[in-house]
Structure 1
Amino acid sequence: MSDLIDALQWPAMAVTLVAAWLVGSLSRRKRTWGFWCFVLSNALWVAWGWHDHAWALIGLQVGLFLFNLRGVMKNDDAVEEAG
């Protein structure tokens, strides 16, 4: 089980990169997917950080999670204002 959790850092890294790519899109739909990918990457990093006792990383991911939720809400608000 420990090896499986240690391996989480690789999909966490990959999902984070995909999320960053999507959030940079001009398409609202892709940006929204990007924010949700960031939320998934936050969860993966927290799971890995908990196992590795990386408390600062966990704190960072909680903060980034809150920013990502803000991004989702602002992205949705921008669509409502434009429509």
Structure 2
Amino acid sequence: MTDLLDALQWPAMAVTLVAAWQVGSLSRRRRTWGFWCFVLSNVLWVVWGWHDRAWALIGLQLGLFALNLRGVLKNDQAPAQQQPG
């Protein structure tokens, strides 16, 4: 079990990179998938951090989750861009 938890950092890293790529998309659908990938990466990093006693990493992941959630909420509430003229 310890080997599995040690190896968890690699899929966590891969999911984080996929999430970052997706949230940079112009497509709302891809950005939504990116958000959920970030949530999954946060969970994976917290599990790995708990196992490795990386408390700062756990705190970082909780903070990043909160910032991502804030971004999604603000994005949903943003007014439509106004056309000039």
TM-score (ref. length: structure 1): 0.89
Runs of 4+ in 1 over 6 A off after TM superposition: none
**1:32 equivalenced with 2:27 (yes/no):** no
Compute the displacement of 1:15 (Å): 0.3
Q: Which amino acid aligns with 1:60?
A: L
Within-5 A mapping of 1:39-58: 39-58=39-58
The correspondence of residues 4-83 of structure 1 with structure 2, limited to 5 A, is 4-78=4-78, 81-82=79-80
Return the structure number with greater helix share.
Answer: 1
Q: Distance in 2 between matches of 1:35 and 1:71?
A: 9
Q: Structure 1, residues 31-72: CA drift from partner, whole Å, max 9, x if none?
A: 111111111100000000000000110010000010111122
Larger radius of gyration: 2
Unaligned runs of 5+ in 2: 81-85
Contact (CA 8 Å) 1:23, 1:32: kept in 2 or not?
yes
Partners of 2:6 and 2:24 in 1: how far apart? 29
Separation of aligned partners in 2, 1:41 and 1:7 = 14
Distance 1:75 1:26 in 2: 12
Give the secondary structure class of the aligned counterpart of 2:25: coil
TM-score by length of 2: 0.87
Letter in 1 for 2:63: G
In structure 2, distance between residues paired with 1:23 and 1:5: 27
